[in-house]
Structure formats: structure tokens, C-alpha cells
Structure 1
Amino acid sequence: MAATAAAILAVSTAGCTGAPEQGGSATPDVRIAAVGDMNDAGNIDPDSPSGRNAAAITRLVQDNEIDAFLGLGDFQYDTAYCDDYVNYWATLWSGTMPKLYWVSAPNHDWEPGRNEDLDNFMNGQCPGSPEKAAINMERGRIGNGEAYSKDLGNWHFAFLSSAHWRYNPAQAGAMTRWLDRDLAAAKEAGKHLAVVHHEPYFTSTTAEHERAGDHKPWIDVMWKHRVRLTLSGSQHNYERSCPVNNKDKCVDDGMTAFQVSTGGIALRPFTSSPRYIEKRFSDTHGFLRLTLHSDGSFDWNFVATRGPSTDSGTRPAP
């Protein structure tokens, strides 16, 4: 792979802005929508699960009811190139672009030497779709595998491409070292920490996927810095863990791991039952809404757009 470690990690902690305010106005809440695994090949049906999710999140963007939409990977199936993003994904989801922060997933989003257009699309470089994702408007071009981070209120988000564990483990190792430095700086600045990546570590098995065990170095770094929240996709269902540590134990200061891959692709049943999973279902499409408070507490609500299941709750401040 031609990209160097320096290029992969070029987009880093711009926007990390020191300690929270003292004695001034309170840092505002951060309102987020998040989902992955979004659109079937050739789909432009507004009444499909993908179309319903896209319309609901687009309304939140247009009404300024969210501050960010986190795209958790696998935007367009099966093997997406510029024409696929422009003709299919954008037909339903383009209204989310003004608040979109994204990660690339293997292999539907990006496989080196095959489909490499997701970063072009997000930077407005695919013919017929000049609009840029929010993070590209802020930072410029971001390559498919580049790590970056972003402060939202009193929270700090690191965005990582799971693809490197499959395609170039040496780059994944460099990204692990970047993550360690990035989270350390944000924690020193008084931020609460969150990480976004496509392939989940804290997850139930399906017939297609087990946990991403090769991601364990990332998990160890997250635990070291006491990340509060992780978001991933890939499994085609919904899961929420207990606050969990890097040894799969439920602990008060662990990570709450949300796996939200209910964006529109056909759903998969579970084939295992990890003890650290507190809530899960595979019968409902929808997306996750989060409200993150400046004290590190947060509220969540799964918004069902087709199907009977939901999930909501609050994690208190540390």
C-alpha cells in the first residue's frame, strides 16, 4: 500500500482546545446521530429501511437537532465506486453531508487496489456530487485510512479505519501509537473520550463475523485512557455493552460499546451471547441518538424506523 504512516496519521488533533471552562457558561450538550451499514446495491427506494433512516437523519440535520452525524462505515454495498455513491447513496443520504463525520470500512468502502473512491466522494471529487462531508469542509481531503480526531463540546472523538488491520497491520500499529498520543493529550486537556471504528471488538458472533480480535491493541489503549464510549458497526444488528474493560469485565469506569449497523442492510441473527452485552436485537432498522453532557454523563436512544425494538438509558458522570 502506497500510503505512508505519516500520511495515514496526518489528520490529527486539530480542534483539541484545552481544559473545560471554569466559572463561565456551561459547555453545551453534544447531540449525535450514528449508524453504519447503510445502503444496498442499487437502492434508491425512500421507503426502504435505508431510505427511512436517511430521511429521519436528514430531518435532524435540517432542523439543527443534531451537532454531528457519525457514519460508522459500509456506506454503500456491495463494492462502491464514485458512480455508486453518487447514484445510490447520495440519492437517499446526501442531506446528512453537512454534519457527517465518517470512517472507512473494509471492504465495501475501501480495499486498496480495488474500490478506493470513498475519500474522493467525501471530498466532493466524484463527478456529479461536489458537496463535501462536514469533516472535509473543516479539514480538507482525508484519505480512506487516515486517523483523525475532533472535539465536540467537552468530548473528544478519535476516528479510526478498521481496514488497516486487514490490509496493512504495520499501519494499524502506527495508528495505535497515534491513538495513544491523541487520547493522552485530550485527557490532559480535560476532555471525555470516545472512539469510532467500523469493526467491533465488544460484540456477539454472527454467521458472518466474530469480534475483531486483531483490534485488541486499540482496546488496550482505550482502556489505558479510560475511554467512555465507543461506536462501531459491521454486524447488521444492534448491541450495547455494559461499561467494559479490556478483559471483557463489566466495571464502573469501562467503555460503553455501541454497535449500530442497522442503517438499511438486511439484518443478521446472533450466534453467541457474551456476558458483557446488556442489550441487543436483530429485528429492527434504525439509528442511535446520543446526548453527551459536559460532565461525562450521556443519554442514548435507539430510534426505530422499521421494526419493534428500541433501547434507551443514561450513563451517569464518572
Structure 2
Amino acid sequence: MAKPCPPMMFTLLGAGLLALTAVPAAAGPDHAKNADVPAVLVGAGDIGSCASDGDEITAKLLDRIPGTVFTLGDNAYVAGTAAQFQKCYEPYWGRHRDRTRPTIGNHDSRTDEGDPYYDYFGKAAGPKGKGWYSYELNGWQVLVLNSTCDLVDCDADSEQLEWLADELSDSDAKCQVAMFHHPYFTSGSKHHSEPRVKPFWDVLYKHGVDVVLNGHNHNYERFAPQNPDGKADADGIAEFIVGTGGGGLNGFGHHAAANSQARDAKDFGVLKLSLHEDGYDWKFVAQPGSTFTDTGSADCH
């Protein structure tokens, strides 16, 4: 029988502290999970590049972590062609395709508006030409959105946002996580905030979504819960940027964005989320030899 998970933490922890698979020594009443066996959601974005060995490194990390694999877009560089999916994604992350639920990115959309992406992942990628879909995992609602707003409408009155609002309204899930490629909040130096995904945040926040996962910037960053205006909010959304899947790394600006609590631009790696019935644990699993770690736990709203 599993013991309760640790109390809510939103701080960067030192190496050697809580690992997601470890049994904690103590717990508070908010995490009395008893027989709660978490589901695992693990992955990253910005992955398959024939010019980098980072995807080989992160695929080996996935080999040791069971569960559902997610991607956060830009799966096959540089243009998402069928050949690039076969040569640059398939040899490594492709061996986990049967357990992967993907997200489309701007590089995936460069060829025929993403046709090779939809062909490669099949039904797991959602409706062809749309790319948004949802599924359930251990009582959690997982929402995958398409933030390539040059090709799909991301406005508040768009088909995608109406679908999102309906999905959230119809769901009785206590915990929810959404993922899309472009971040609204980021400290990255290469790509800045994508304002066109603000309507995503508005709807997600209104419905009490707990976590947002993004890629696009090739680094790792975690934000404390905040509202769509960027104000710290205990009932807000915790954002993770995990653009460390293998397609190169890039850094941060001189000043961290508000509410940014953990950052790393030196390591390839994947984010492991352990989804409990009423909360989650997170762990950034970095490449071998890394000294960076970021782990913690939080309750759902």
C-alpha cells in the first residue's frame, strides 16, 4: 500500500532529495493517498534531429521509465518531412511510438501543413489538420492543443477554443493537464512569449486546470502557479517548459521572467509526472552526468 506523497513544494531542490519513485518519510493530511497508485506521464519537446545526439540520450531515459510518453512538438527537424520522421525521430523515440501521445509543433507543420506528422503518429495525433484531442489517465484529463496559430485559428471564438471549453465543462476530472508547443510565459532568449496562446490560458485558468506543458525554447523551466496576467496565484496554473528532447539546447535572457522557479539550459532530459488521484509529483530526469535536478509535489485545485 503506497504511503502519502509529500506536501506541496514549489522550490528547486538539491541533488539527492525526493525522487518521484522514492517513498517519502512523512506526509501531511492533504496527500493521504493510501492505495493511490500513480500513472506516469513522461516526455519532452523539440526532439528528433539528425544533427544532434540529444534524442538518442533522451530515448535511453525513456527506456527506463514506464508510462505514457508525451511529446511537446517539433518532433522531427527541421521541416517535419516524412524522411525526417523516419531518419531523425524513428531510430530513437520511435521505439516508444506505441505508448506516445504527441503534440504538433511549428517545425512539424512546415511540410504540407503537417501531413507527415499525422501520417507518422496516426490516430494518436488527433484529427488530421486539427491536432487537438483529449484523453484520460488515472482520473486526470489530458488536453493536447495545437498552437501553430499560423495554420489553425487560436482565437477565443475559434473551433479549437470552443472545443476546449466544452471538454473542460463536460469533464468531472479533479485534475487536468494541458500541453501545446508554444509557451505564453518563458525566460528563453531565442523565443519569446507567444501572445496568440493567451486565449488558451484564459480558458484553462477559468476551468481550474492545474498544469501546462510547453516546448519551443530548447531548455527546461518551471513556473510557480500563476494566472493569465502573470500574477502569482495559488489557484493558478503551473507551467513547465521542456524543450530538452534532443534537438539542441539554447539559453535564457539576462532576467528571469516573473514566477520562474527553476531553469536549466545545459542538459537534455525528460519531465516525469506521477499523476495521483488528487495531485502530482514532478521530476526533471536529466542526461547522465548532470548535476541539475528539479523535483516536487503539488495538490490539484
Partner of 2:105: 105
Q: 1:73 to 1:161 in 2, by over 3 A?
A: same
Q: What is the 5 A alignment of 1:221-260?
A: 221-260=203-242
Matched to 1:120, the amino acid is D
Q: Within 1, Cα distance between the matches of 2:184 and 2:259?
A: 11
Q: Normalising by structure 1, what TM-score?
A: 0.78
Query: In the alignment, which of 163, 166, 169 is matched to residue 153 of structure 2?
Result: 169
Structure 1 residue 36 corresponds to structure 2 residue 45: yes
Matched to 1:284, the amino acid is D
8 A Cα contact 1:31 1:291, kept in partner: yes
8 A Cα contact 2:245 2:268, kept in partner: yes
Q: Which moved more, 1:80-89 or 1:223-232?
A: 80-89
Q: What is the 5 A alignment of 1:48-87?
A: 48-60=53-65, 65-66=66-67, 68-87=68-87
Number of aligned residue pairs: give it.
Answer: 265
> How far apart are residue 42 of structure 1 and its match?
5.4
Q: 1:288 to 1:81 in 2, by over 3 A?
A: same
Q: Within 1, Cα distance between the matches of 2:252 and 2:242?
A: 14
What runs of 5+ residues in structure 2 fail to find an aligned partner?
Answer: 1-33
Q: Any idea what SS the aligned residue of 1:117 has? A: helix
8 A Cα contact 1:118 1:144, kept in partner: no
Query: In the alignment, which of 241, 246, 263 is matched to residue 264 of structure 1?
Result: 246
Q: 1:144 to 1:310 in 2, by over 3 A?
A: farther
Query: In the alignment, which of 133, 156, 164 is matched to residue 179 of structure 1?
Result: 164
Q: Within 2, Cα distance between the matches of 1:169 and 1:279?
A: 32
CA deviation profile, 1:176-202 (whole Å, cap 9, x unmatched): 11111111111xx24311111011112
Q: Any idea what SS the aligned residue of 2:287 has? A: strand
Q: Normalising by structure 2, what TM-score?
A: 0.82
Q: Within 1, Cα distance between the matches of 2:113 and 2:185?
A: 29
Q: Within 2, Cα distance between the matches of 1:168 and 1:76?
A: 20
Q: Percent identity?
A: 27
Query: In the alignment, which of 190, 209, 213 is matched to residue 195 of structure 2?
Result: 213
Query: In the alignment, which of 252, 268, 275 is matched to residue 258 of structure 2?
Result: 275
Structure 1 residue 117 corresponds to structure 2 residue 116: yes
Q: 1:191 to 1:78 in 2, by over 3 A?
A: same
8 A Cα contact 2:141 2:173, kept in partner: no
Partner of 2:29: none
> How far apart are residue 80 of structure 1 and its match?
2.3
Q: Within 1, Cα distance between the matches of 2:113 and 2:145?
A: 20
Q: Which moved more, 1:257-266 or 1:143-152?
A: 143-152
> How far apart are residue 115 of structure 1 and its match?
5.3
8 A Cα contact 1:58 1:93, kept in partner: no
Partner of 2:19: none
Structure 1 residue 143 corresponds to structure 2 residue 148: no
Query: In the alignment, which of 272, 296, 299 is matched to residue 313 of structure 1?
Result: 296
Q: Within 1, Cα distance between the matches of 2:95 and 2:249?
A: 24
8 A Cα contact 1:41 1:78, kept in partner: no
Q: Any idea what SS the aligned residue of 2:92 has? A: helix
Q: 1:233 to 1:301 in 2, by over 3 A?
A: same
Q: Any idea what SS the aligned residue of 1:34 has? A: strand
Matched to 1:35, the amino acid is A
Q: Give the number of the structure whose residues are more often helix, by fraction.
A: 1
> How far apart are residue 317 of structure 1 and its match?
4.3
> How far apart are residue 86 of structure 1 and its match?
1.4
Cα RMSD after superposing both structures: 2.1
8 A Cα contact 2:221 2:240, kept in partner: yes
Q: Within 2, Cα distance between the matches of 1:54 and 1:162?
A: 25
Q: 1:292 to 1:82 in 2, by over 3 A?
A: same
Q: 1:315 to 1:284 in 2, by over 3 A?
A: same
Q: Within 2, Cα distance between the matches of 1:143 and 1:28?
A: 34
What runs of 5+ residues in structure 1 fail to find an aligned partner?
Answer: 1-24, 124-132
